[in-house]
Structure 1
Amino acid sequence: MARDLADHEEVAALPPAAVLQFWLSSDYYTERYSRIILNGWRESGGHLHPSIVDHLDGRNVNQKPRQSNSLRPYSDQEWRQLVRSCTTTIAAARKTHRETLEAATQGQAPIASWLLDNGPASNRVIQENISGIWREGPRLTAIRSALYPDNDVVFAYTMLLALRSGIVSDGIKTLTVGNYTRTGPHTAMLRYYKGRTAEEALNLPRAAVRVLDQWLEHSRPLREHAGTLTESMWIYASQQEGIRTTSLNGHQRTRWANLHDLRADDGTPLTVDFRRIRATYHNRRDRSAWTGRATIDPNHSARIEGDHYLSHHTPAEQAALETVILDAQSDIRRKAEPPVIVTHDDAKQFAAEFPRLAQEAELNVDVIRRILTGEQDVFVAACASPLNSPYAPAGTLCPARPWVCLLCPLATFTPRHLTALLRLKEFFSRQAAQMTMQQFITVFGPYADRLDNDVLPKFDVRLIDAAGRLLATTPMTIEESQ
């Protein structure tokens, strides 16, 4: 900042233009630090130009760059490892928990009974209250871990819930028992918080409901001794620190991966990342209904559908389908053609300026004469072939509405049609006032656009004015003309 603004010897004399130019030529972090310096100068009593002060109180010129890299989902093999590590740990812990709890309630295991009544005490406290077990420290630890879940078991439950529901880690670790609401025998709703948003709610999949039901059953004995932590969802027993809540920190995730020897596809240690778990969950859910082939009925093979549904057409059916496709393509092409405007009542000049119309519509001199003399006039145009309309079968008189002529390739617009075209413009205005914008655009939009931008601008302004004066003396609505 001092180097770029060296031409100005005093901070108080800095012109706003120089400061703004410096910010525009720098990045977000340079601007941020320079703002800190200038704000410190101002807060310590230094003088700054009022415009610079306004800039300091406003938003930054440079916005902070957004660093968002999409997370790569776990592969199927990696995903199976994560699921297996959780399910095997939980299954073994639940089995020993049920056996120890049953022995404790029946009085068959004095140590387990004492722990069930008094809570997860340390080995030293247990030895002080039960005689004859001074050298049974490992056994005491095993009984306490079987009766009350330790941190590894809690981590297995939290990760399995993420695997089954796709909830982010900060939403899982702050859960309380009150956030979990059963809505049916196999359904439940979970309210949780995301760090970037407010509270969210999720109808849990059945597999996630089962995970939480198993955990609440597994942690019930520990919850009876948890005191103020009773409502916390994820609690565990620690020998040194008593009952605590899990944190899902990086050390736990690394320890878990090493404990279960989790490996990536390339053989390196697999990193347990709850963000990647969420990304993989949604990726797998999107692919869960995909069978690998585009079939109409999942009970059919691709070959069966190809033989019986895609290629089974008689020659007549094939010709009919091709005719429908050809007609649709021709209709689209006709609508894209510019309108035919005749501004002079001269047959020779008309034939010279518009050979395309004569060629495509197969017009001869007699037909051109009838067009120019008005023998084949409809309401807003002269029709080259009323019995060969694209909107009706051949040989049938065209049934189309007057405004449809604006997009018809058989229509020819001449100065004598200006009065009718202006009446049509008034009709569009009345319809626009009575309909919503969406309705008007859907029904009349293409025709109104063709009239305003392609047809009327081709005529001389004096002819349009004369037609407008004539229209004022002989008013008639489109509805009356029909």
Structure 2
Amino acid sequence: MGAHLRPPLRVVFELPSAVIYERDLADLPDPILAADIAAGLVAATYPHGPIRTKSVASQYATTMRRLARELHADGFRGGFADMSTAAVVGYWLTCDFHRERRIRAVLSAFHTAGGQLQPGIVHHLTGRRINQIKPGKPNRPYSATEWERLAQACNTMIKGSIHDHRQALEASERGKDLTDDSLSEDRMAWVIRSSGPLAIRSLMALFPMATVDNRQRVVSLSRSLFPEPDVAFAYNLLFAIRTGIVPDGIDALRTDDVTRTGPSSILLSYVKGRTGKESLVLPRAAVRLLDQWFEHSELLRGHAGDQASQLWLGAKQATQEGGRIYFTTPRTQYRRRSWAQRAGLIDDAGTLLQIHGGRVRATFHHLKDRSAWTGRTTIDPNHSAKVEADHYLSSHTPAQKDAIEGIIEDAQTDIRRKATPPLVTNEQDAAKFSQQFPNLVREAELELPAVQKLLDAEQDVFVAACASPMKSPYAPVGKLCPARPWVCLLCPLAVFTARHLPNLLGLKEYFSTQAAQLPLPQFMGVFGPYSTRLDEDILPRFSTREIAAAAGNQQTLPFTLEEQG
């Protein structure tokens, strides 16, 4: 596995799954650059590089051939070692993301294999790409009518082909015991069945007495006995419709990937290109389809030799001389297009339906996500859509709207309040206090006398000084705040000063006692935010000297304003 060169300058790619692909570079205008490109392609082939499929090898070879021709047209002569950094970067600027990516991969592989490059180019190879990939769009599912037409076309071709196949088998069984050289259909069917799928001229040589009129009968019998690639593709496509497996995983299936776990159950192993090996228990419809395909292709596999292990196998009716058997894989871009034309498939716009494996998979999962839907748009089957709309989708009254908006405003205010840092100050004059805390003054609508009351302890509660006890967030305006002492820790109206430290420390001790007595989830649900605010925001703002003095000077302050003497 890998790649090698064949004289004069032909790259032979030996890829996984025994795939051989060749590309000639001898016709390029600059033989020196062509030789370096060939060496780079060999070095970039699996297992040492990203080239691991026939299509990828073709893309890389095409990109590098284009590079050689365009650089030669610009006047460049020489190999990779003669290319300047400016020339390479300038060429990358004319490329798209994928062409730049392929050129980088070939140059990197060439350099890794010992080839010479300019230091500037090597530096760019390890850096960021110039062209960025454009975000792709997800595959669009087929419409319901397109999906139905696609499945119907597959079923129609399969049913017709399997019917003709069974009739041809029956005819061959009847002609098995015939010894004459007559051109009866039974005898011809047996001869063709025994000989296998041959090229048309070799096939006609089996019947030297046949006339031109018999030619079509012979070809028709051969196609009935040995399924063509179009028929194999119909099975392939219908299998994708019924399973939703990735297209590359379906195309690469072999007979030993099918494990029968019961009379009507199959475990399928396949390779998903981006993730690796995966497996799937097939739905019953897919199991029946595979069983039918094995029956349909059994005779063909008996003549296929080493290729009999390929799951999707078709016999191509070639016209060349010789007795060689032609087998092809069914899924190619040309096959998809010609198959759609043969089946007469059109999309919703009236044009030829484009068969795309990614869209088939996207449609499968799209329908699967909706398969649990009951088909009704109403909750109660006894209700009409209008009745349920009146019940569940009716517009709100003005009073209900006011209530909803009030709830939203309260929630937003609560979130904003919890995010507000605590107001902690020392014993200072009112003017300086109002300058340091303009938000408190503005939001509480305080004037200088009110601020003075805060500093003079005239509005002290248990752990703080309250800026406006009659405008509490926890009670209607005009009524005294009913909140518990620890609620002040998160209240935007609370101001904490050094004189409150004794009770703050007492509250801290109270939290410690509750933490020891309550389960942790319950404590965090009730006291968690307040304890965190006290330990992390409020107490750290006081000096250690003030805290030490307050710890030995426990005082009893009133809980509310009514308790002041």
**TM-score class, shorter:** 0.5 to 0.7
- Letter of the 1:413 partner, please give it: F
Name the CA shift for 1:20/1:125 in 2 (closer, same or farther; >3 Å): closer
Write the letter of the residue equivalent to 1:173: D
Q: How far 1:152 moved relative to its partner?
A: 1.4
Of 225, 232, 252 in structure 2, the residue corresponding to residue 174 of structure 1 is: 252
Paired residue for 1:308, among 373, 391, 401? 391
Which residue of the other structure, out of 355, 364, 377, is the alignment partner of 1:272? 355
Report the counterpart of residue 465 of structure 1 in structure 2.
Answer: 544
Q: Distance in 1 between matches of 2:210 and 2:496?
A: 110
**Cα distance change, pair 98–44 in 1 and its aligned pair in 2 (3 A):** closer
Contact 1:162–1:169 (Cα < 8 Å) also in 2? yes
SS in 2 for 1:234: coil
Partner Cα distance (1:442, 1:120) in 2? 83
Distance of aligned partners of 1:456 and 1:233 in 2 relative to their CA distance in 1, 3 Å threshold: same
Q: Deviations over 1:128-185 (max 9, x none)?
A: 7679766523222222322321111111111222333333433222111222335567
1:255 aligned partner: 338
Instruction: Sort the Cα spacing of 1:294 and 1:174 in 2 relative to 1 into closer, same or farther, 3 A.
Output: same
What amino acid sits opposite 2:545 in the alignment? Answer: A
Show the counterpart of 1:86: 154
State the SS of the aligned residue for 1:376. coil
Q: 1:423 to 1:217 in 2, by over 3 A?
A: farther
Question: In the superposition, relative to structure 1, how do residues 415 and 207 fare at CA in structure 2: closer, same or farther (>3 Å)?
Answer: farther
Q: Can you list the C-alpha shifts for 1:7-35, whole angstroms capped at 9, x where unaligned?
A: xxxxx9xxxxx9699969974969968x9
Number of the residue aligned with 1:376: 461
Percent identity, aligned pairs only?
A: 37
Shift of the 99–350 alpha-carbon distance from structure 1 to 2, 3 Å rule, reads: same
User: Structure 1 residues 111 and 301, CA, compared in 2 at 3 Å: closer, same or farther?
Assistant: farther
Q: Does 2:316 match 1:238?
A: yes
Match of 1:150 among 225, 228, 238: 228
Alignment-derived partner of residue 220 in structure 1: 298
Structure 2 unmatched runs, 5+? 1-70, 72-80, 177-185, 319-323, 555-565
- The answer to whether the 8 Å contact 1:167/1:278 transfers is yes
Which of residues 62, 69, 77 in structure 1 aligns to 2:129?
62
2:218 equivalent in structure 1: 140
Q: How does 1:40-79 map to 2 (within 5 A)?
A: 55=123, 59-63=126-130, 65-67=132-134, 69-70=136-137, 71-79=139-147
- State how far apart, in whole Å, the 1-side matches of 2:257 and 2:284 are: 17
The answer to which of 126-135 and 259-268 deviates more is 126-135
> Quick check: 1:347–1:372 contact (8 Å CA) kept in 2?
no
SS of 1:230's partner is: helix
Structure 2 residue identity aligned to 1:235: L
Shift of 1:89: 0.6
**Matched residue type, 2:216:** P
Q: Does 1:190 align with 2:276?
A: no
Please give the alpha-carbon distance, in whole angstroms, between the structure 2 residues aligned to 1:320 and 1:185: 64
Q: How many residue pairs align between the two structures?
A: 434
Would the aligned equivalents of 1:370 and 1:376 in 2 still touch at CA under 8 Å? no
- What is aligned with 2:239? 161
| Gap change, CA 1:358 and 1:239, over 3 Å in 2 | closer
8 Å contact 1:334–1:409 — kept in the other structure?
A: yes
Pair 1:282–1:338, CA change in 2 (3 A)? same
Residues 278, 316 of structure 1: CA spacing in aligned structure 2 closer, same or farther, 3 A cutoff?
closer
The CA RMSD measured in Å over matched residues stands at 5.7
Please say if residues 169 and 248 of structure 1, whose CA atoms lie closer than 8 Å, have aligned partners that are also in contact.
no
Q: Does the CA contact (< 8 Å) of 1:191 and 1:200 recur in 2?
A: yes
Q: Give how far 1:220 is off.
A: 2.7
Q: Does 1:211 pair with 2:289?
A: yes
Unaligned runs of 5+ in 1: 3-11, 13-17, 476-482
* 1:6-25 matched pairs, under 5 angstroms: none
Give the aligned partner of residue 99 of structure 1. 167
Q: 1:452: Cα distance to partner?
A: 4.5
Q: 1:251 to 1:319 in 2, by over 3 A?
A: closer
* Gap change, CA 1:67 and 1:338, over 3 Å in 2: closer
**Counterpart amino acid of residue 216 in structure 1:** F
Aligned mate of 1:414, from 492, 497, 500: 497
Aligned mates of 2:357, 2:302 — CA distance in 1:
30
Q: CA offset at residue 213 of structure 1?
A: 3.2
Question: Could you state the TM-score of these two structures normalised by the residue count of structure 2?
Answer: 0.57
